[in-house]
Each structure stands twice: as C-alpha cells, then as structure tokens.
Amino acid sequence: MNSCKDSFLTTVLQHIKSKEAKDFVRMELLHHLSRSKAQLLAKGVSEAEAEETAVKQMGNPIELGRQFNKLHRPKTDWMLISLFTLAFAMGLLPLLHIPALYSHLLSNRLIHIVLALIIAATTMMLDYRKLERYCWWFLGLGTGILVPVAYFPTATIQAHPYFAIYGIGYISSDAALPFLFLFWAAYSVNSHAKLRMMIPVYAITMLSFLLSSLPAAMIYSLVVLILLFKSSICWSISRILTVAGAGLSIAAAVLFWFTRIPYRTERLLAFLHPKADAHGNGFMYVKIRELIASGGWFGAGSSTYISNPAGELVLVDVAQSYGWVAMGMLIAVLILLLFRMAVLLRQTRTGFGRNLLAGILTFFAVQCAYNMGMIAGFLPLTSIDVPFVSYGFTSTLLNSFLFGLALSVCRRRHLVTAASK
C-alpha cells in the first residue's frame, strides 16, 4: 500500500511549481494521512485498508495539487503597484506648466518613469530570500560607494559631495543606502549577530554619511534603529543602541550649535524666526506659506518663486498651481501606499522579509513625513524629496529599486518552507 500513498503524493506534487511548497505540502499530506490512518486502525481496520481509505478520503490528487499550487504561488499586490504608478503620474503635474525653455524636463521625466517601472518590475521578480546570504557583500558595496564620496569627492554640487565613476557619472552617498539596508536587514535577523560587529559598522558608515549628506545620515540612522528593534537581538542590546544613537544625535546637535558655522546658524535662526529675516534666509519660509494659502481649493496658476517646482517643494507647487484638493489627493495616495506596505508587512512570514520591508517602509515614510513637515513649517528646509513624486534621476532609480524589493517581499509574503512550519 505504500505505492498507493506514494502515487497519490507524486500526482499531487506534480501540479505544484515551487520546490519549497512541494516540501511543505508533502509534510502536510503525510501528517494528515498518518492521522487518518491511525483513526481507522483504532476502529479495527487492517493497516493496508486503512492506508488506502485514508488516501481516498484526501480527494482527487489532481484537483488537490492545483489548489495547493494556487495557494503557494507568488501573489502580486496590484493595489500597491497601482498606488506606486499613480504617485509617479501625479508627480508630472508641476511639469505641465513650466516655461517652454524647460519643456525637456517633462520628456525626461517620462523616460525616468518608464525606467523606474522596468526596474521595479524586474526587481519584483527576483526572489529576495536568496539575497540574505550575501549580506557582507552588500556591506562591501555600500561602504565602497560611501567612503569615496565622503572622503575623496571629485565634485561638489549644491554643497553635497559627489564621486565620478567613468562610464556612469557622478554618484552621491544616497547610492549606498539600498546596499546598506540589505546588509542590516540580513545581519540583524541573524541569531549570531554580534554587538562588537554592529558598533564599528554603524559608526563608520554613520560618520561617512554625516560628512557627505545630513539628510541621508538622518534617514539611515532611523532605518537602522527600526531594524534593530525588529531584530533577533535581545531587547537590552537594542535599548543600549537606541540610547547610544540618541546620545550621538544630541552630541552632534550641541557640537553643531557651539561651532557656530555662520550659514548653518543663520538658516536655523531663519527657520525659528522667518519673519525676522523675511528678505534673507527666511524668505522661502514666508513665501511657502503665502503660496500654499494663495492656491485655494482649486489652484491659482503657476508661480515663479519656486526655482525647482518638481523638487523638494513639489507639494507647494501642486497646492499653489492646482489647489488644496490636488495636494490633498497626492498626500492621500502617498499615505495609502505607506499604509498598504504596513499591512503587507504584518502578513510577511520570514524574518528577513519583515526586516527588509520594514526598512524600506521607514525609508519612504521618513522622507514623506519630513517633507510634509517641512512645507507645513514644522521642520527646517533641506533637500529631502517626496518619494516617487519629486524630479530626479538618481532618486527615481533608487526609490524604484527599493520599491521593487518591497514588491518581491509582498509577492512571497505567504510562502513558507517546511522548516518554518
């Protein structure tokens, strides 16, 4: 009768494509067959008859195999993809009313969006679980990008250092973020993670970010702290790291204040008291409020006060040109996208997948929250864009790659292995 059971299992598994799902389903079916057989044996049925009856009770093996294949195959979340595409589409609004001299920006942006969709779709098809074993390679790639930018820049653009790579162009420290996120997501879920390894890695990378880009340093620090709290490290170590991170932040703020670098101090004072320097560093703070207020419900036309309407002040331009309703719709799309990612995070079964999705969600959420707080006047102006909406080739590629990783996690959030059971 073993041949009857084996034939049944073989027929079922033939209709399942995933190798991991086959192992899991085999264990599940063997468990159910053993339990049914034991119940029949307890009723006095012979062993051979009990096994044959147990197999028949399982039903049609072909139908069962098809049902299991449907259950254990990757599932694309079309709602998340729709919100992602809609955010990109709404990012075109500021480019629809720019002067003819800059009309090429619209065509460039359309090319950027097409490339972003291709990158996101390609990355989504990758099995993110295979990346976990390469965590140290990702650390090497991340630091290999970050260190030259921070310590050996070949150009400075708008006070930010860049490093030139032949055949590629200029890269900033932002290009190191996805590789470092992958490292922390993989290493922090490792049960053998060592504090003595984490501290120097975090210290070196954080110092390099501080030297190259303060916004990137802030985002990186928050993502790492979130990943450590979700990691397999004991809570005491996580708390120590959190306190240490908070202490370093306070120390950096105090050092920044007492060194009194003139232009930074002036910008901070302008943020605190914009009307006191309304014709200097406080001009944009005052003007942003005026532009948003003048937009009304349905917009008042384009403004010449925003030099880069599709950049970090894209929400201001949308509010002024298309009205509060349009800005509210754009913000709602971004919030829904983040909320959907949070919902899918709770459904993800693997530790690496949860860490990776949590890090990417934090990365996008921090940018959105800071940018919204910035235009509301609660936070100082800085070069933090709105994900998927603001114009920028490098940021578009970076965001689409990370979003593609998030989609890869979401597609496989229900998949389990026999070991995880």
Q: Note whether 152 and 290 are same-domain residues.
A: yes
> Do 230 and 186 contact (CB within 8 A), yes or no?
no
Is 419 part of any domain? no
Residue 361 clears pLDDT 90, i.e. is over it: yes
What is the pLDDT at residue 312? Answer: 82
Instruction: Kindly report, residue by residue over 111-141, the tens digit of the pLDDT.
Output: 989 999 999 999 998 888 889 889 899 999 9
Average pLDDT over residues 270-279: 75
Output the pLDDT for position 257: 47
Model pLDDT for residues 260-270, shown as the tens digit of each residue = 556 667 777 77
Does the CA dihedral 390-394-395-400 come out positive or negative? positive
348 within a domain of the structure (yes/no): yes
Indicate if 102 and 135 belong to the same structural domain: yes
Quote the pLDDT of residue 120: 93
What whole-number distance in Å separates Cα of residue 391 and Cα of residue 413?
31
Q: Say if 387 falls within a structural domain.
A: yes
Dump pLDDT digits (tens) for 314-344.
888 888 888 899 999 999 999 999 999 999 9
pLDDT tens readout for residues 240-249 = 566 566 556 6
- The residue segments making up the domain with residue 365 are 78-411
C-beta separation of 198 from 241 below 8 A: yes
Residue 306 confidence class, pLDDT cut points 50, 70, 90: low
Among residues 350, 370, 355, 359, which one has the least CA distance to residue 403? 359
What is the Cβ-side half-sphere exposure of residue 151, based on CA atoms within 13 angstroms? 10
Q: Record the tokens describing residue 390, joined without a space.
A: 């603001």
> Which residues, at least 6 apart from 345, have a Cβ–Cβ distance to it below 8 Å?
354, 357, 358, 361
Residue type, 30: L
Question: Are 67 and 183 in a shared domain?
Answer: no
Residue 348: what pLDDT?
A: 87
Q: Is 145 found in the same domain as 57? A: no
Question: Which of the two residues, 330 and 165, has the higher pLDDT score?
Answer: 330
- Does 40 map to a domain? yes
Of 71, 94, 116, which residue constitutes the final position of a domain? 71
Whether the CB-CB separation of 162 and 171 falls below 8 Å is answered with yes
Calculate the CA 59 to chain-centre distance.
Answer: 43
pLDDT at 256: 55
* Domain-terminating residue out of 22, 40, 71: 71
Contact at 8 Å (CB) between 49 and 36? no
pLDDT at residue 420 in the model: 44
Our measurement of the distance from residue 53's CA atom to the centroid of its chain's CA atoms, rounded to an integer in Å, reads 50
- In terms of phi and psi (left: phi > 0; alpha: psi -120 to 50; beta: otherwise), the region of 72 is alpha
Same domain, 42 and 164: no
Residues 59 and 141 in one domain: no
pLDDT tier for residue 408 given thresholds of 50, 70 and 90: very high
The answer to whether residue 371 is domain-embedded is yes
pLDDT at 258: 44
For the record, the structure tokens of 157 come out as 């653009």
pLDDT at 55 over 90: no
Highest mean pLDDT among 16-30, 43-57, 361-375 belongs to: 361-375
Mean model confidence pLDDT for the chain: 80
Distance CA 262, CA 340 (A): 43
The stretch 267-282 carries a mean pLDDT of: 75
Buried b (16+ CB within 10 A) or exposed e, 351-370: bbbbbbbbbbbbbbbbbbeb
Is the CB of residue 33 less than 8 Å from the CB of residue 7? Answer: no
Which residues are within 8 A (CB) of 200 and not within 5 positions of it... i.e. 6 or more apart?
none
Mean pLDDT of 271-300: 80
Question: Do 232 and 298 fall within a single domain?
Answer: yes
Amino acid 400: pLDDT: 94
What's the number of domains the chain is made of? Answer: 2
Q: Which of 53, 71, 89 is the last residue of a domain?
A: 71
pTM for this entry: 0.81
Q: Judging by DSSP bridges, how do beta strands 160-165 and 155-157 pair with one another?
A: antiparallel
**Same domain, yes or no: 86 and 46:** no
160-165 and 169-171 beta bridge pairing = antiparallel
Q: How far is CA 228 from CA 199, 244, 346, 413, in A?
A: 12, 13, 17, 21
Other C-beta atoms within 10 Å of 383: how many? 15
94 and 225 together in one domain? yes
One domain for residues 142 and 175: yes
Checking if the pLDDT of 1 tops 50, the result is no
* pLDDT tens, residue by residue, 65-119: 777 766 667 788 899 999 999 999 988 888 887 766 667 788 888 898 999 999 9
